[in-house]
Each structure stands twice: as C-alpha cells, then as structure tokens.
Amino acid sequence: MRSYQKVGDRGLKMTIKKDGKVTVTGRIIVSFDGKSRVVSTREAGAKGKASTNRAVYDKQ
C-alpha cells in the first residue's frame, strides 16, 4: 500500500507498507518554478540496515 500526505504548498510525504509494516518513507518536493522535483526516500533494508536514496527530476 502506498499513501501520500500533502506537506505545505510544494511537498508530499510518502509511506509505503508491505504486509502492514512500513518499508519505505520519503518526501517529494517540487521547486518554486515547477521545473524540477526531488524525491528522497529511506528504506528499511534486510538485516535492519537502512538505505537512503535521492533522485532529482528536471522537466524537459
């Protein structure tokens, strides 16, 4: 299951669950000019080791 919650004017908070447990959390932030966005996630990995990711998307 994936859920989104609005945070401010330009952001979303995201939560992904599998079998009732939170597996990924993150934020999506759109730039002031609307030409790019940043997606930052934190994932609960195997053996309790967490990983973080950050992706930047530009509008073409």
- Alpha-carbon dihedral sign for residues 50, 18, 37, 6: negative
**Residue ranges for the chain with pLDDT beneath 70:** none
Cα atoms in the 13 Å half-sphere on the side-chain side of 56: 4
State the pLDDT at residue 44.
81
State the pLDDT at residue 14.
96
State the pLDDT at residue 48.
72
Q: What is the pTM of this model?
A: 0.81
State the pLDDT at residue 33.
93
